[in-house]
Amino acid sequence: MKRVLVFDSGVGGLSVLDAIVASGHALELDYVADNAWLPYGLKSDAELQARVPALLTSLVAQWCPQIVVVACNTASTIALDQVRAALAVPVVGVVPPIKPAAALSKTGVIGLLATPATVRRTYTNDLIAQFAADKRVVRFGSSALVEAAERKLRGEPPGKAAITEAIEGLFGAPGGAEIDVVALACTHFPLLAKELAVAAPRPAEWLDSGAAIARRVANLLIAEEGTARSRRAGFTDPAAARGHFPAFSDRGFTEFAAIQAAPGFAAVGV
C-alpha cells in the first residue's frame, strides 16, 4: 500500500485525513502534529519557513512516505516552496478554497475564515485577485477557533466564545449580512463546521479543501480503490497530545510516537 504522511500543527489535519479516508482508496496513513509549536497562525513567516521543511525532511527520511500532505493552510501558504525544495517526494499543500467559494456564491459576498497569518498572506491576496476579483471577500482571522477545535477533539466542549466571535467577525462586518458561502481556510475549522453553521445568522455553504486534497493525493499516487488504513501518529509534544489519543484511536491509529525537537527529530515510541 502506498504511504501518505499527513502533517499539521495540531489535530486540524484530521479533517483532511477524514476526507482521504472517505475518498475510498487503499492507502496507509501516517500523521504528524507539530503540537509543540501550535498555533502556527501566531508564528512568524520566517519561523515557519525554517521549521516546517526541517521537520518534514527528517520525518520523510524516517517514515518513508510516498507523498506528504501539508494539511495546514498556514504552513502551505508560506512554506510550500521550501518544503518542495527540501523533499524528494511529491508534496500536496492545502490552500484557501477561494476559487470554489467564488464560483458558488450567488450574492457575490464570500466569507474567509482562517488563522490570523493566512488571512493576511500575499498568497491569499493573490488567490482573491485571481479568482474572486469581482466578489466582496469578508475576512476574519482567528486563533481562538484553532484552540476550540483542539478542545473539541479532546472530548471537551469547544466553548462558545471563539465561535461567536468568528460569526460576528464575518456576518457582522460591513457587507457580511450578504455572505452566502464561507471558505474555511484552516484545516481545524471543518472540525467545527456544525457549531459554526448553527451559530450563523443565515444559512450559508461552508466550504473546505479536504475532498480536493483527497482527489489530488489519489491521482498523484495512482491509488487503487479500497480502504485506507491509519497507522502511526507522531507529536512533537506527546504529553500535551495525550488527550487527543482517543480521537486518533477512533480513526484507526495504533501507534503513537514522540517526534524529538531539532536537529534530530528522531521518532521514538510513547
Instruction: Please state, in angstroms and rounded to a whole number, the distance separating the CA atoms of residues 143 and 188.
Output: 10
Does the annotation mark 186 as catalytic? yes
Half-sphere exposure of 161 (CA within 13 A, CB side): 4
Q: Rule CB under 6 A: is residue 12 a binding residue for ligand DGL?
A: yes
Does the annotation mark 64 as catalytic? no
Please check whether residue 2 is in contact with residue 204, taking contact to mean a CB–CB distance below 8 angstroms. Answer: no
- When binding is defined by CB under 6 A, the residue of 27, 87, 101, 146 that contacts ligand DGL is 146
- Binding residues for ligand DGL restricted to 85-144, rule: CB under 6 A: 115, 118, 143
Q: Rule CB under 6 A: is residue 9 a binding residue for ligand DGL?
A: yes
- Choices 3-11, 122-130, 170-178, 234-242 (CB under 6 A): range interacting with ligand DGL: 3-11
b or e along 131-159 (b: 16 or more beta carbons within 10 Å of the residue's beta carbon)?
bbeebbbbbbbbbebbbbbbbbbbeeebe
Radius of gyration from C-alpha coordinates of the chain: 18
Residue number, 151 or 229, with CB nearest to ligand DGL: 151
Classify burial at 203, counting beta carbons within 10 Å of its beta carbon; exposed 0-12, middle 13-18, buried 19 or more: exposed
Residue number, 206 or 223, with CB nearest to ligand DGL: 206
Smallest gap from Cβ 49 to ligand DGL, in A, equals: 15
Residue number, 185 or 204, with CB nearest to ligand DGL: 185
Residue number, 148 or 257, with CB nearest to ligand DGL: 148
- When binding is defined by CB under 6 A, the residue of 187, 209, 230, 236 that contacts ligand DGL is 187
Per-residue x/- mask for ligand DGL, residues 23 to 42, rule CB under 6 A? Answer: ---------------xxxx-
- Would you say the C-alpha torsion 174, 180, 184, 188 has a positive or negative sign? positive
- Would you say the C-alpha torsion 70, 71, 75, 81 has a positive or negative sign? positive
Instruction: Please state, in angstroms and rounded to a whole number, the distance separating the CA atoms of residues 107 and 89.
Output: 41
For the annotated catalytic residues, the residue numbers are 72, 186
Binding site for ligand DGL (CB under 6 A): 8-10, 12, 38-41, 72-74, 115, 118, 143, 146, 186-188
